[in-house]
Structure 1
């Protein structure tokens, strides 16, 4: 597996003015937080759900994608989790705008976009829940920094700080199939700053994703082996000014369905962020990402390799600068600029299923760039708060190519695609009225933008017998939407109810042209109307949290997509809900039960091959064994529900069966 050495450039910016203002802090004391600037005033005008650290750590599967499933409207392209899915299909989206393996939600970790530069998927396996302190999920398009990707919303993951982390902690678990999960984490204080270093290793033979009546001699369980290392340091540069640096490395290997159907993913990420808090708040961020992916496709009839996707090297670089002047009679202002570049290529070999001989070598790839300028304003008028953010994005699609050669090196295809670029404007605006008694009423409108990924533009693929063609002429997706909602927060309960209407113009989808041929196309639109409910009731040591998303999603199609008009998009459920009953009588004693339901979904755009509804029961418990040691128990799909994750003409893949975990957690 390819290793890449990353050199982190030093970021030097003039923060002297901010530092002088910060000198008025009490006794000139240096305090570091490891956090970004606070959310701008008025952010509560949008439909946002927060997940605290206790809920993050109590996930029954130990996976961050499982944590996010508790938020109404969140979904991945498929129901499989990050142990048994093909990584390239793990896109994240919100508000039933799915039907595509790329992410339509902007996922950030400490302000850095996480989407793979080539495919656009999220490496969920590399995001360890124990390293996080808080998650904020904002549904609805438009954003501030890096907003050209937030067509369905933003998922902001924040690393845990020293207040959340023990100086040393470790956990080791094993399940009833012999799979293991282990992590070690240290968080020492270093003078006025702090550092964290964490290692995690998950591995096992996994479970059979193939139903018993469809297994053959070549069928194997979905084995997995994932390792990750993360180091983070926060140090003061001056009173009120801090430097935050993060370095991460990860590797993941999986086998799916057939012996030899192996995939591997590797990545190295580095970022630096400088945050200055004072009369003038400033945040500057720079990051670099190196990713690679390989995948072997096995014939479902002869059970021999037919495609070796040897390498998919991709690079992501970017950064942002945001400045917030002192608040004035005009209100709170923010200005900024951000930049992202994604480049990469796929290198693959086609192989004869009969002879095993190489038949064709292919390479395809390109680059996407986005330069964004954004400005925001917010102000409170008595009990009313108004906020707005506007972005201007200069996007470009360049260097696209597709090249194929025969085994002798003779050129078969050499396509070069025209470069394209344009400006686009997006943003959002919201109002929130505090009505009194803990009740608030809000309304918002927004426009989002997403440029097609390199995968969508240039990479064709085959899932026998269906061929899906790429389309280098794809245009960016553009979303218009609005929402209205109420929030109520009482002493022992809270409720958030939102109604929304979203229209995604130019939605990228795999459009069926013939029974065995599809092509990525821009649909006229996908229209989604829905209701989202988030709630919590607290009574003594108990808490009952619930979420529900009801969606009415339909394609608007003409021309080759006319047959799709009025149909529900693939992989979209009309109802998704969960309820968690948690019991925390005292520190380190906890138990939780989570009931989750996903309605029927369709595998294809023809509303065929149904993925039947599934309801699962999951559990988590933590019990102290001593001063620093706890017993951890987890249960997944305790009722043994049959979870269909793929159904192509009756060829089915299944999700996680009943699984029980047990182990210990040490905290010093």
Structure 2
């Protein structure tokens, strides 16, 4: 396949080229238990600034860092699962598409970066977070609130940045193999190496399951196979000059069930067993870059190029039924100048071309290529003092299809005492319509609207971070945002065929986020989060946005890290959804029940570098739906072994 050929070429380059992230890796290694006790232990945020050098203690917005140790403690395999433990995050998934919403924003309002690469599908306008598997040593950053001033028109709700481990943070060979109920068989193989001026890593991840039925009363198991091959690396060619590269190939194959759209059927609008239906998603991502430092490292210049190529295919009993191809080429230049110890200026320029082609067979829709070209300019100032921090950014985007857009973000933080820090931030965002919304076509069901306008958002937040005791921190944030021109689906008569349009009313999202990170005793730690959300459109509650979401992870670790056990409890409050149970196809509002998931896992060291582990997910066998009539998985159990040498 051409995608495999491209991946192999870039992955080979990734073993030679580099990112200047040695300082970042060392900062992360300083404290990987997720509990921060002092400024010296705060890791660098790679996504909070275009320079990638912001310390967590200096960031003026809301951010959560999920460390590699937290991934191991919770035995996370799907990134979407651990994101449920982040305040302000709502997860809803069906086979073939798992969506993430930040603070009530739409799923396509969230920018997802993987090793610095923008991974959303230009056709769908969002990234299927269900295809992102947790590699050994990986970490995740979640920035909540408008980030368009830094990253452009895909970050109204925030940014999720996944960073795989380098050859410096996790050197040597690492392997993990597990199996369990529902025919589950997952494996990971990784190798990392480094020298004084270089590092490199290669990784392969396989996730496979026969699945469980997802139709009410259904018997057809919905299985999935996902394969990921990735590589990244860095080399310092000369003093002050470094090269880097990263590449990733993801292929996901799975089954799904259709909804019954036979008006004469008693199950009209419900998910039913649909033998022969399946999907295949395949994506290739790659990035190369160079970084130069002058003036004793005070002035840096970074040039990078990245590509994304995504293909989606859906199959029915009689062959391929729906297909699309999306691609992106992005060039970025970032220049950062440290004027003094606490003052930093950054300029960035981005040039991006996104394209898509509808490859659905049958000739019902235009299958030529569509393209949108965009140029963006960013200016950013940051001040990080002993007690006071300040950040400000402004961006101007020039788009060949939509009006130019200017977005901003400002923030400030003040350390009232050694244990109390106040912070506040405000910003704006913009989201351009996606290709599917503009030009999509599903025969008899959906027609795009090429007259759509971009959505625009403004928001603000205020918060406090309080160190309660040694190794414990409580953060509380209130946020408020407003979205204008929201794109929604209409069903105009007489055909009632779905088509998107811009709302003339305003959508509001406001709420409270709480997070607690605490070391309860020498061997006990607790991470907890709670979110309250009030998301309304013209006074009407929006769908798939629970008012209440909460989680808690309690971890016990034996002396010398010889064993550990973690109990994770996740509660998702009741939410509304749209059900297409009326023959007119006009949606009917229904309420999804709240649910609580309990996961329990344990790990024991068998020998130096070799651990055995086991886990039970959905321990209580909760029956729940994240999307109307799509039944989510029940109880499952897994055992496995992990080795590092």
Q: TM-score, normalised by structure 2?
A: 0.84
| Counterpart Cα distance in 2 of 1:43 and 1:459 | 43
Which of 202, 205, 210 matches 1:200?
Answer: 205
Matches within 5 A, 1:417-456: 420-456=401-437
* Per-residue deviation, 1:225: 1.3
Candidates 79, 90, 110, aligned match of 1:64: 79
Structure 2 residue aligned with 1:478: 456
Q: Distance in 1 between matches of 2:184 and 2:63?
A: 35
* Equivalent in the alignment of 1:148: 153
Deviation at 1:618, TM superposition (A): 1.1
The yes-or-no answer on 1:529 pairing with 2:510 is yes
Inter-CA distance 329–642: structure 2 relative to 1 (3 Å threshold)? closer
Shift of 1:97: 1.7
Structure 2 residue aligned with 1:296:
315
1:368 aligns with 2:384: no
CA contact (8 A) 2:313 2:320 kept: no
Question: Aligned in 2, Cα 1:191/1:61: closer, same or farther, shift over 3 Å?
Answer: closer
CA contact (8 A) 1:143 1:389 kept: no
Change in Cα spacing, 1:134 to 1:500, as seen in structure 2 (3 Å) is: same
Mapping of residues 234-273 of structure 1, within 5 Å: 234-257=234-257, 258-273=274-289
User: Where in structure 2 are there 5+ consecutive unaligned residues?
Assistant: 14-19, 21-43, 258-273, 580-586
What is the CA distance between 1:204 and its match in structure 2? 2.5
Aligned CA distance change for structure 1 residues 34 and 67 (closer, same or farther; 3 Å): closer
SS at match of 1:211: coil
Matching residue of 1:23: none
Worse-superposed segment, 104-113 or 513-522: 513-522
- Cα 1:205–1:501 change in 2 (3 A) is same
Partner of residue 633, structure 2: 656
Which whole-Å deviations, capped at 9, do the CAs of 1:201-236 have from their partners, x for residues lacking one? 122211111122xx3xxx621111111111222111
Question: Residues 125-524 of structure 1 correspond to what in structure 2 (within 5 A)?
Answer: 125-143=130-148, 145-189=150-194, 192-212=197-217, 215=218, 220-257=220-257, 258-277=274-293, 278-297=297-316, 308-309=321-322, 311-328=323-340, 331-349=343-361, 360=364, 363=367, 366-380=370-384, 383-396=387-400, 420-461=401-442, 467-489=445-467, 490-513=469-492, 516-523=496-503, 524=505
Give the Cα–Cα distance (whole angstroms) in 1 for the partners of residues 458 and 630 of structure 2. 35
Which of 539, 546, 554 is matched with 2:528 structurally? 546
* Cα drift, residue 241 of structure 1: 2.9
Q: What is residue 102 of structure 2 aligned with on the other side?
A: 94
Task: Tell me if structure 2 keeps the 8 A contact 1:512–1:518.
Answer: yes
**2:119 corresponds to which residue?**
114
Give 3-state SS (helix, strand or coil) of 2:275's partner. coil
CA–CA distance in structure 1, aligned partners of residues 535 and 358 of structure 2: 33
Deviations 1:468-504 (A, max 9, x none): 4321111111110011110113422101110011111
Cα distance in structure 1, aligned partners of 2:195 and 2:551: 41
- Alpha-carbon separation, structure 1, partners of 2:12 and 2:556: 46
Shift, 1:189, TM fit: 2.6
Q: Alpha-carbon deviations, 1:81-120, whole Å to 9, x = none?
A: xxxx223xx343300123xxx5211111222211112112
Contact kept, 8 Å, 1:166 with 1:186, in 2: the verdict is: yes
Pairwise CA distance, 1:10 = 13
What SS does the aligned partner of 2:361 have?
Answer: strand
Counterparts of 1:594 and 1:521, CA distance in 2 = 41
Q: 1:208 to 1:340 in 2, by over 3 A?
A: same
Distance 2:490 2:58 in 1: 37
What is the TM-score normalised by the length of structure 1?
A: 0.81
Q: How well do the aligned residues superpose, as a CA RMSD in angstroms? A: 2.8
| Partner SS for 1:349 | coil
Q: 1 CA distance for matches of 2:192 and 2:156? A: 36
Aligned counterparts of 1:286 and 1:609: Cα–Cα separation in 2: 45
- Please name the residue that 1:413 is paired with: none
Against the structure 1 CA distance between its residues 156 and 35, is the aligned structure 2 distance closer, same or farther, given a 3 Å change threshold? Answer: closer
Q: Name the stretch that deviates more: 359-368 or 127-136.
A: 359-368
Shift in CA distance, 54/343, structure 1 to aligned 2, threshold 3 Å: same
Change (3 A) 1:323 1:362: closer
Q: Kindly state the Cα deviation for residue 453 of structure 1 after the two structures are TM-superposed.
A: 1.1
Unaligned runs of 5+ in 1: 12-17, 19-32, 298-303, 351-358, 397-419, 557-565
Cα distance in 2 between the residues matched to 1:204 and 1:279: 50
Output the CA distance in 2 between the equivalents of 1:376 and 1:607: 45
Contact 1:4 1:290 in 2 (8 A): no
For residues 265-303 of structure 1, what are the alpha-carbon distances to aligned partners after superposition, in whole Å with 9 as ceiling and x for unaligned?
111111113234512123222111111110125xxxxxx
Question: How far apart are the structure 2 equivalents of 1:549 and 1:96?
Answer: 11
What is the distance in 2 between the residues matched to 1:632 and 1:220? 30
CA deviations 1:230-258 (Å, max 9, x no partner) are 12221112223322211222211111122
Superposed displacement of residue 629, structure 1 = 1.5
Q: Quick check: 2:383–2:391 contact (8 Å CA) kept in 1?
A: yes
Question: Any conservation in 1 of the 2:600–2:617 contact (CA below 8 Å)?
Answer: yes
User: SS where residue 69 of structure 2 aligns?
Assistant: helix
More divergent stretch after superposition (1-10 vs 452-461): 1-10
Q: Any conservation in 1 of the 2:68–2:136 contact (CA below 8 Å)?
A: no
Q: Is the contact between residue 57 and residue 129 of structure 1 (CA under 8 Å) also seen in structure 2?
A: no
Deviates more, 1:203-212 or 1:510-519: 510-519
- How far apart in 2 are the matches of 1:482 and 1:621? 41
Q: What is the CA distance between 1:364 and its match in structure 2?
A: 6.4
Residue 334 of structure 1 and its aligned partner are, at CA, apart by 0.7
